[in-house]
Amino acid sequence: MLSSTFRFLTRTSTFVRPMMTTLARRSLSFKPTLVNLNDKHRQSAMIINHIPVRQSHVHYTYPMIESRVMLVLRLFDKIDGDALQLDSKFAQDLGLDSLDIVEITAALEDEFWTEIPDVDSDHFLTPRHIIQYLCDKYDVYEHVEPVSAGKEYMEEAKAAAERAHHH
């Protein structure tokens, strides 16, 4: 009986297609079913009825997005890996045309399991634009400086206090 449950568990995991270059691990969450876990047969009930369910959202961070985008770009055969920088322009520096941009966009869609329409891929001029677009899509703000409305006020107040102190 234990072997059949093991086979069942491994079969459900094949429904999730493995991501090629994913660096973050998806967290498994075990959803308990309507079985009383406090009775004598607790051990066997837990193994049979706890079906692992993968969360649909991976936790996206800026370094993860950046490294995946640069990897996808490096794997593209028309891009010279040495010349590739965050700010190297596709058209001028790397010599790519619109067909190549479409191909890169298709590869990125495949990597990030998302859709990128043509209107958005028209604005991809450097790798940094791609990373910024994906950060906006997945609400990643780690690399952005937090804007404080009170910063200038604090500096002004400090300067006024200094002036008042010295008088």
The binding site for other proteins (CB under 8 A) comprises 98-99, 102-103, 105-107, 109-110, 118
Q: Report the nearest approach of other proteins to the CB of residue 21 (Å).
A: 14
Q: Report the nearest approach of other proteins to the CB of residue 74 (Å).
A: 17
- Cα dihedral 65, 68, 71, 77 in deg (nearest 10): -100
Q: Report the nearest approach of other proteins to the CB of residue 78 (Å).
A: 10
Active site residue 97: yes
Catalytic residue among 80, 87, 97, 122: 97
- The string of DSSP codes covering 23-73 is -SPPPEEEEP-S--TTSTTHHHHHHHH-EEEE-S-----HHHHHHHHHHHH
Q: Which is nearer to other proteins, 78 or 158 (CB)?
A: 78
What's the length of the chain? 167
> Which residues are within 8 A (CB) of 48 and not within 5 positions of it... i.e. 6 or more apart?
5
Q: Report the nearest approach of other proteins to the CB of residue 91 (Å).
A: 15
Q: Which is nearer to other proteins, 66 or 111 (CB)?
A: 111
Q: Which is nearer to other proteins, 27 or 98 (CB)?
A: 98
Q: Which is nearer to other proteins, 46 or 106 (CB)?
A: 106
Q: How far apart are CA 135 and CA 143, in angstroms?
A: 9
SS3 content of the chain, % helix, strand, coil (to 5): 50, 5, 45
Q: Which residues are marked as active site? A: 97
